[in-house]
Amino acid sequence: MRNPDYPMRKILIQFVHPARSRSKINNTLRAAVEGLDGVTINDLYATYPDFLIDVQREQQLCEEHDAIIFQHPLYWYSTPSIMKEWLDLVLEHGWAYGSQASLLKGKLFLQAITAGGDDSTYRKDGYNEFSLRELISPYRATAKLCNMVWLPPFAVLGIHRGLPEEEIKMHGEDYRRMVIGLRDGTLDIEQGRKEDYLNNDLHAIIRRP
Amino acid sequence: MEHFLLQLFIFLAAAAIAVPIAKKLGLGSVLGYLIAGIIIGPFGLSLIADIEEVMHFTEFGVVMMLFLVGLELKPSLLWQMRTPIVGMGGLQVALSSVLISGFSLLYLPWQQAVAVGIILSLSSTAIVLQTLREKGLMNTSPGRSIFSVLLFQDLAVIPMLAVLPLLATIAMLDDGHHGSIFFDISSLPGYLRILVTLLAISSIFLLGKFAGRPMFRTIAATRVREIFVAAALALVVGISLLMTAVGLSPALGTFLAGVVLADSEYRHELESDIEPFKGLLLGIFFISIGASLNFTLIGEEILLIAGLSIALIGLKWLVLVVTGFLFKMAKKERSLFAIALAQGGEFAFVLFQFSRTNGVLPAQTIEPLISAVAISMFLAPLLFLAHDKFIAGPHGAEDVQREADTIDHGEHRVILAGFGRLGTDLGRFLISAGIKPVILDHDAANVDILRKFGFEVYYGDITRLDLLEAAGADEAELLIVTIGDKDKASELVELVQKHYPHLKIAANAADRSAAYQLMDLGITVIRRETFGSALSLGQESLKLLGVDPYEAYRLKRIFRKKDEEMMPELYRMHREDEDQYISMYQKHNIDLEELMRLDQNADTEELDKAWTAKNPEM
């Protein structure tokens, strides 16, 4: 994976929410990482309200960063629609995948997902019958095809019954720790890949500096 | 005066009766004119006199026609055509001259044989071009080949005029004076003559290139239409006089002027102003050809003249087939090419006359030849018909048409009426999408500036039918109306619906009531000029107030959709109110009230539901 001595990973957060003002949790997560050194936040719905995605700009952003985080709510067991448009347009053959493509190789791929149902609903015997990890397997396959390093999602679950203020705040802090850990190379990628959710136990996978 | 008017009446009435009948029978206008000529001529009802005089005067129609042809040929296109012009044209004239001279050598001394050969190698520009235009074949590949040859022939007349006197064998009366009324160029020494000729040609170029535009702009600014017509006519007549003075073909001179002006924005305006004059003059010219058929002579020497006509058409046809073969034309193209140019031309009348006065050919030789040329010209439209029917086959014309699509990339499919505030951006947008509209605007200053930036803009009043025609309304697919004056816009729409029902129409409306006016005319694609900007500004304003950009965008889209859905209802109410004879001002207020009420009723649920907390996955 990555050399721990490497000074810093540049992190690109693709913020994907159609009505940001109506999502407290996504705003909190975003605010927790906003302004961090080496972290770029790219708001897809705000930048492309008419879905006219600037492919060149997006590809350049990807090239300039070492980890790409898609932060989005789970809509119909998938992503908001603009993210599909983004994947369709930006991940061009010859750039993202194909025998000649190497521009995304080795970069980290990660989803930060907020979902209504809690962890118990995302089980074989639960309400949704599939685990979150199973549901997002198309993205895992996508990352693999692009030779990227896939990581389990940073998940904030059970939000539809409304999370208490402190818990939301805690998720924000976790998000910030995770992003910094990825940035500084203190987060153990190998260990993280074994988890269901990357934020299951951040203490266990982040090395103290 | 009375006599003149009577003659004029006879010509015009004959044309007005014969041409529609000929067209109805599918014979084409040229044949209609020729038949009209025979009927009113000395061998028909004998209604007209001075046929030669009339023919001589109306030859000017050919000059105008070449001016119009020049207007349609940009210099770059002409340059592209240099190979067919010199190659095909040169080969056709040379081969025909040699073959016909050789044939004539059996009966005539060699000087006379050569004179007959070169004179008969020419074809009829007037008949062929008129027919090609009528059939819409001008821009097809065979049409261009035919035109190239005709152009070369017109050029070849000049050296022919120089060579013919050298072939004189007969002692002649000294009336060979053919100089101009101004001064006789032949009195100048040789080098000066060349200098004067070059000067005349370059003055046409300079005039067209530099003086033409400012002149027409000034005239256009007066907005007195007949002055523009007068200037256009003066230009054509003036150039003809200049060319005649220096001993060049007036047709060639005006053709050059046309080519120089082909790039100018006044092209369509000039075209539509000269067109009717050309049409009338040519029509009368054709009538006089019909009238000049000497049936007494033909009756007396029927075998000789029939033989001559057949030999003329046969030999020329053979040469054309060979030429087409050498230039690798496709079979269908070659057959049209050969049929089209196999007749004698109107220049033959001029040159035969010239040969007689210069003592080259005796009158008894010329008489039957002139009859043969006239008969071949009469047969030309019939040969076109025969070609359509038997050779081209039922799908022939279609084939040629399809070919044209790939050849002419410049064919416009969109006419953009009005190039003001709205038209400018619309035009830019279309051009960026690879569609080059023909743009028409009636503001001369506006047109001028836009052309400087490379737009193809033409000056003219778009509500004139002839300008629409010149802009290619026949072939166009779509008309976009962006003129601000709503009554003018309605006038234009009605005109187009009447004369070009195939044209799709998209229109801009200044406001809601202008839109209603267009809806009255059955237009369905209407955009209100300020509506899009109002909503865009609204979207940006919402963003400044902190509304999510995507939501602001959606709000705009939803509002627009609702507004469009309300439009028929508002239109109905608007028209119902109208029956109650209320004042314009009141009307506006009532309209506004209805608009606001419908807005309030509008279903906003769609907005509220999206992405809300009710969504369990939020």
Q: Which residues of A touch B553 (CB under 8 A)?
A: 49-50
Q: Which of B548, B610, B617 sits opposite A73 (nearest CB)?
A: B617
Q: Are A123 and A131 in contact (CB under 8 A)?
A: yes
Assign B422 a pLDDT band (cuts: 50, 70, 90): confident
Residue A33 in domain: yes
pLDDT higher at A15 or B230: A15
pLDDT higher at A47 or B189: A47
Mean pLDDT across B291-312:
86
Give the residue on A whose Cα is nearest the Cα of B548: A19
CB contact under 8 A, B610 and A19: yes
Radius of gyration of chain A (CA): 16
pLDDT higher at B384 or B69: B384
Site of tokens 């606001």: B596
Residue A116 in domain: yes
Q: Which residues of A touch B560 (CB under 8 A)?
A: none
pLDDT of residue A150: 95
Q: How many CB atoms lie within 10 A of CB B267?
A: 20
Evaluate if residue A75 carries a pLDDT over 90.
yes
Assign B588 a pLDDT band (cuts: 50, 70, 90): low
Mean pLDDT across A157-184:
92
pLDDT of residue A84: 96
Site of tokens 């006239």: B374
Give the residue on A whose Cα is nearest the Cα of B553: A49
Q: Are B462 and B439 in contact (CB under 8 A)?
A: no
CB of B547 less than 8 A from some CB of A: yes
pLDDT of residue B545: 92
Q: What is the pTM of this model?
A: 0.54
Q: Find the helix or strand (DSSP H, E) in which A112 lies.
A: strand A108-114
Assign B172 a pLDDT band (cuts: 50, 70, 90): low
In percent, how much of chain B has pLDDT > 70? 87
| A-to-B residue pairs, Cβ atoms closer than 8 angstroms | 50
The type of residue at A127 is Y
Assign B580 a pLDDT band (cuts: 50, 70, 90): low
Assign B412 a pLDDT band (cuts: 50, 70, 90): low
Of the ranges A161-165, B89-93, B136-140, B228-232, which is most confident? B89-93
CB contact under 8 A, B549 and A73: no
Q: Which of A47, A49, A160 sits opposite B616 (nearest CB)?
A: A160
Evaluate if residue B595 carries a pLDDT over 80.
no
Would you state the structure tokens that stand for residue A193, as one six-digit string? 């890949």
Give the residue on B whose Cα is nearest the Cα of A46: B549
Q: Which residues contact B161 (CB under 8 A, 6 or more apart)?
A: B247, B351, B354
Give the burial class of B402: count Cβ atoms within 10 A of its Cβ; 0-12 exposed, 13-18 middle, 19 or more buried.
exposed
Nearest of A67, A4, A1 to residue A206 by alpha carbon? A4
Cα distances from B121 to residues B96, B140, B611, in angstroms, run 5, 24, 83
Q: Which residues of B touch A23 (CB under 8 A)?
A: 618
3-state secondary structure B354-393: HHHHCCCCCHHHHHHHHHHHHHHHHHHHHHHHHHHHHHCC
Evaluate if residue A26 carries a pLDDT over 80.
yes
pLDDT of residue B243: 83
- Domain coverage including residue A138: 11-205
pLDDT of residue B314: 92
pLDDT higher at B189 or A177: A177
Q: Which of A45, A116, A117 sits opposite B548 (nearest CB)?
A: A45
**What dihedral angle (degrees, nearest 10) is formed by the CA atoms of B606, B608, B614, B618?**
100
For B2-404, CATH gives 1.20.1530.20
CB of B613 less than 8 A from some CB of A: yes
How many helices (H) and strands (E) chain B has is answered by 30, 6
Would you state the structure tokens that stand for residue A205, as one six-digit string? 């996978």
Which of A21, A24, A26, A86 is the best mutation test for B, with the most CBs of B within 10 A?
A: A21
pLDDT of residue A35: 92
Residue A6 in domain: no
Evaluate if residue B107 carries a pLDDT over 60.
yes
- Lowest mean pLDDT: which of A128-142, B269-283, B491-505? B269-283
- Lowest mean pLDDT: which of B289-298, B339-348, B360-369? B289-298
Residue A149 in domain: yes
Q: What is the CATH number of the domain that holds A92?
A: 3.40.50.360
Cα distances from A44 to residues A37, A76, A79, A80, A159, in angstroms, run 21, 19, 12, 10, 23
pLDDT of residue B184: 56
Mean pLDDT across B417-424:
84
Evaluate if residue A73 carries a pLDDT over 90.
yes
CB contact under 8 A, B617 and A19: no
Site of tokens 């990227």: A148
- Lowest mean pLDDT: which of A44-48, A64-68, B240-244, B522-526? B240-244
DSSP line for B71-140? HTS-HHHHHHTHHIIIIIIHHHHHHHHHHHHHHHTTTS-HHHHHHHHHHHT---HHHHHHHHHHTT-TTS
Q: Are B18 and B33 in contact (CB under 8 A)?
A: yes
Evaluate if residue B404 carries a pLDDT over 50.
no
Q: Which of A23, A45, A76 sits opposite B618 (nearest CB)?
A: A23
Q: Which residues contact B23 (CB under 8 A, 6 or more apart)?
A: B29, B32
Residue A195 in domain: yes
Assign B174 a pLDDT band (cuts: 50, 70, 90): very low
- Lowest mean pLDDT: which of B195-209, B438-452, B512-526? B438-452
Q: Could you give the number of structural domains in chain A?
A: 1
Evaluate if residue B173 carries a pLDDT over 70.
no
Q: What is the mean pLDDT of chain A?
A: 91
pLDDT of residue A23: 87
Return the ∠ at Cα B32 (arms to B31 and B33), rounded to 5°: 90
pLDDT higher at B21 or B48: B21
CB of B546 less than 8 A from some CB of A: yes
How many helices (H) and strands (E) chain A has is answered by 9, 6
Three-state secondary-structure class, residue B224: coil
Site of tokens 């109650």: B580
Which of A45, A47, A114, A118 is the best mutation test for B, with the most CBs of B within 10 A?
A: A45
Q: How far apart are CA B142 and CA B340, in angstroms?
A: 10
pLDDT of residue B614: 47
B609 to chain A, closest Cα gap in Å: 12
Residue A2 in domain: no
Mean pLDDT across B454-481:
81
Residue A48 in domain: yes
For B414-609, CATH gives 3.40.50.720
Mean pLDDT across A125-153:
94
**What dihedral angle (degrees, nearest 10) is formed by the CA atoms of B534, B424, A57, A176?**
-10
Would you state the structure tokens that stand for residue B346, as one six-digit string? 């109107």
- Lowest mean pLDDT: which of A108-112, B256-260, B291-295? B291-295
Return the ∠ at Cα B81 (arms to B75 and B84), rounded to 5°: 155
Q: Are B78 and B256 in contact (CB under 8 A)?
A: no
CB of B171 less than 8 A from some CB of A: no
Evaluate if residue B270 carries a pLDDT over 50.
yes
Q: How far apart are CA A32 and CA A38, in angstroms?
A: 14
Assign B393 a pLDDT band (cuts: 50, 70, 90): low
Q: In chain B, what are the domain boundaries?
A: 2-404, 414-609
pLDDT higher at A40 or B555: A40
The type of residue at B548 is D
Q: What is the mean pLDDT of chain B?
A: 80
CA B564 to chain centroid: 41
Mean pLDDT across B353-382:
85
pLDDT of residue B405: 29
pLDDT higher at B253 or B122: B122
CB of B616 less than 8 A from some CB of A: yes
Q: How far apart are CA A46 and CA A19, in angstroms?
A: 9
Q: Which of A46, A73, A159 sits opposite B549 (nearest CB)?
A: A46
Q: Which residues contact B499 (CB under 8 A, 6 or more apart)?
A: B465, B468, B473
CB of B551 less than 8 A from some CB of A: yes
Assign B47 a pLDDT band (cuts: 50, 70, 90): confident
Evaluate if residue B122 carries a pLDDT over 80.
yes
Q: Which residues of A touch B611 (CB under 8 A)?
A: 18-19, 22
Q: Are B438 and B476 in contact (CB under 8 A)?
A: yes
Q: Which residues of B touch A74 (CB under 8 A)?
A: 617
pLDDT higher at B616 or A44: A44
B568 to chain A, closest Cα gap in Å: 27
